[in-house]
Amino acid sequence: MRSLRFKSDSTVIWLFVLQFACQLALLFPPFAKIRVVFRMCSFGLSIVLLTIVGGQRPVSPGHPSRLFVAPILGILILSTLLAEDSEILAGFASIMFNFSILAPLIWMPKLQIRLAGFKKVVLLYWLFHSVGAGVGLLQVKYPGRFDPTPAINYIEGSMAAESMKIRLASGEKVFRPMGLTDQPGGAANSAFAAMSFGIGLLLTSKGYVAPAFISASIFFSVVCLCMGQVRLLVVLSVIVFVSVLLMLLWRQRIIASFRVASLCLIMAIVGFFVAYDLGRDTVTKRLSTLIAEDPRKVYAMNRGLFLNNVRYNVFAEYPLGAGAGRWGLMNAYFGTKEKLLWAEIMWEGWMYDGGLPLIICYSTAVMVALWVAIRISKSRTSSREVSMWGISLAAYNIGLIATTFSFPVFSSQAGLEFWLFNSMFYAAAKSDRFAPEFDEPYSEDEDDSVETSESEAAVDEPHLIV
């Protein structure tokens, strides 16, 4: 009897559907009590999918960054085994956690990926987060009506509840907009995601209906970014926007750059004034701190302290790592407080987990992903649509790379999504033969259970040129 085989890119769509379902489940009282299970579900699904399709032969090109998966895992294992104060159980959990984040690089080539499938995934992702941003706007516009009850009850009992609130223009204090999450300020995360991929949809959309919905999404997102009080996401949104414009101008896409710039700036201005009408000084005081002083000084006095800690303290004490699982959620769930280390930025986390070798290996894998997206975007054999998606994804990558200096992003849901989108886009672009000039021929003999056409049987297998 033939084993069940997952070949379609619709598998990725269902993965995101289940991920969103787990997030929404936390909004209901019966499920909120076991929030840890639902928070880890997305990572578990990545491992399960690898287990299901692991034995299948590749039918799509694999992303070049997949070459770094084994070295990264090897470094984590060695660091955990050789470190003096390592946490074996927490270390094993951390290794599996990191493996689940990197797993899309391995199982994505086992699926038949096409550009149409990639666009469906992006559309679903954008739609979910646009709704999240819209709900966030409603939560500050109509306080108390749209807040998730389980989250409010859970947070109200914590000591930090007041610090998670903002004061509206009416004088009422409310939690920062949560959107479709159970975390104050969570709507700002949806806003960043909706803006990042909304720009890609704007670049590839036709007519007037799609741009109208995208404009509404950007408007919701700007309001949530202003009211969410998460300065990092405001900065990242600007970085993504500027990166898209610079790459469009570099590619001499003048009309496209003007379209994106004009629409985004108009919606940003309108969104800011709506946010100001809702929050007044709450909005302006928080945002003004970004420009009150030299941005380098602002960073140095805040997250820059943790980067200096890596340079002058952690590197000297743990040059080869302190062992995986010494910090973060894996330590909280499986470790001991006596050996707990604290990491606020990704570079600290990498240094604790595997030292300088892990920093070099993981950061190289990330930079390769950025390089690949840029190469596809400027390839002469890329269609306009693929080129635009390459620009959008490259800008998104730049935003997440910048996040490593403020948050351990590759030890979170965002890290899993980074590798999902990059591996899927690469497979879609290469399978459709839009950018083959830096690859070697790829071929795999398919068994009789897989139906392929001649064009599908001769796709390209990438190799990394250093």
pLDDT at 434: 41
Please report, as a single letter, which amino acid is at residue 180.
Answer: L
Name the nearest CA neighbour of 390 among 380, 403, 375.
375
Cα distance between residue 28 and residue 9, in whole Å: 30
More confident residue, 255 or 294: 255
Interval 418-441 mean pLDDT: 71
Question: Does 231 fall in a domain?
Answer: yes
pLDDT at 150: 57
310-339: per-residue pLDDT in tens?
999 999 999 999 989 889 888 888 888 777
pTM: 0.86
Question: Does 418 fall in a domain?
Answer: no
The full length of the chain comes to: 466
Domain that holds residue 186: 114-293
Q: At residue 441, does pLDDT exceed 60?
A: no
Cα distance between residue 378 and residue 83, in whole Å: 44
Cα distance between residue 327 and residue 339, in whole Å: 9
pLDDT at 453: 37
Q: At residue 34, does pLDDT exceed 80?
A: no
Cα distance between residue 248 and residue 373, in whole Å: 14
Q: At residue 450, does pLDDT exceed 70?
A: no
pLDDT at 6: 58
Question: Does 222 fall in a domain?
Answer: yes
237-291: per-residue pLDDT in tens?
999 999 999 999 988 889 889 989 999 999 999 999 999 999 888 888 888 877 7
Token output for 30: 């019966």
Total domain count, the chain: 1
Question: Does 423 fall in a domain?
Answer: no
Question: Does 349 fall in a domain?
Answer: no
Half-sphere exposure (Cβ direction) of 159: Cα atoms closer than 13 Å = 0
Pairing mode of beta strands 440-441, 173-175:
unpaired
CA dihedral 268, 271, 275, 277 (to 10 degrees): 120
Token output for 66: 């997949």
Residue 33 Cα distances to 38, 143, 184, angstroms: 10, 24, 18
Name the nearest CA neighbour of 194 among 117, 115, 135, 273.
135
Strands (E), 155-269: 165-167, 173-175
Phi, psi dihedral angles at 175 (to 5 degrees): -70, 145
Cα distance between residue 146 and residue 342, in whole Å: 35
Average pLDDT of the chain?
Answer: 84
Question: Does 181 fall in a domain?
Answer: yes
Question: Does 391 fall in a domain?
Answer: no
Cα–chain center distance at 351: 21
Question: Does 461 fall in a domain?
Answer: no
How big is the chain by its Cα radius of gyration, in Å? 22
Residue 229 Cα distances to 42, 168, 224, 277, 340, angstroms: 27, 12, 8, 15, 29
